[in-house]
Amino acid sequence: MPQVDINWLWVLIGAITAMVIGAAWYAIFAEPWMKAAGLAKKDMKNVSTGMNYLWAFIFALISTWTLAWFVGLASATTFGNGAIVGFWVWIVVAAAMAGNTLWEQRSWSLWLLNAGNTLFTFLVVAGLLAMYPAM
């Protein structure tokens, strides 16, 4: 298997970027997301936001590290080439999310909102990772 050097500073920056994108995305699409998920504002008050943010950040680190690995394998060195890598990784994730949507009998609107966030995040984060390869 090829050796890929990871720029850990940019993995951290990418994870923070993913969190910022997610916060903005779900702030913009809060109402349609809650409707598609079958949630009301009162339901959101019972959420353990501190632990959710911690876990979301851990998952963002894992996703960003994985994107960095694929960006390195593809030898992507421009934002555009990194975004292309992010797109192809998203295809795999979006397909898996679609399967879950089918079996959980969730709304396709919910899939679209969540997959859209993931697509935008992967495009931006993988693009950034390609611009700042391992040092």
Per domain, the residue ranges of the chain are 8-131
- Per residue in 92-135, pLDDT (tens digit) is 999 999 999 999 999 999 999 999 999 999 999 999 999 987 54
Annotate 50-63 with DSSP letters as a single string: HHHHHHHHHHHHHH
Query: How confident is residue 45, by pLDDT bands cut at 50, 70 and 90?
Result: confident
- Per residue in 53-72, pLDDT (tens digit) is 999 999 999 999 999 999 99
Exposed e or buried b for every residue in 57-67, given b needs 16+ CB within 10 A? eeebbebbbeb
Q: How far apart are CA 81 and CA 32, in angstroms?
A: 32
DSSP summary character for residue 78 = S
Q: How far apart are CA 36 and CA 26, in angstroms?
A: 12
Count CB-CB contacts under 10 A for residue 128: 21
Mean pLDDT of the chain: 93
Q: What are 129's two structure tokens?
A: 């990772």
Q: Which residues contact 31 (CB under 8 A, 6 or more apart)?
A: none
Express as a percent the part of the chain with pLDDT over 90: 82
Query: How confident is residue 43, by pLDDT bands cut at 50, 70 and 90?
Result: confident
Q: How far apart are CA 33 and CA 101, in angstroms?
A: 14
- Per residue in 21-36, pLDDT (tens digit) is 999 999 999 999 999 9
Q: Mean of the pLDDT values across residues 34-48? A: 82
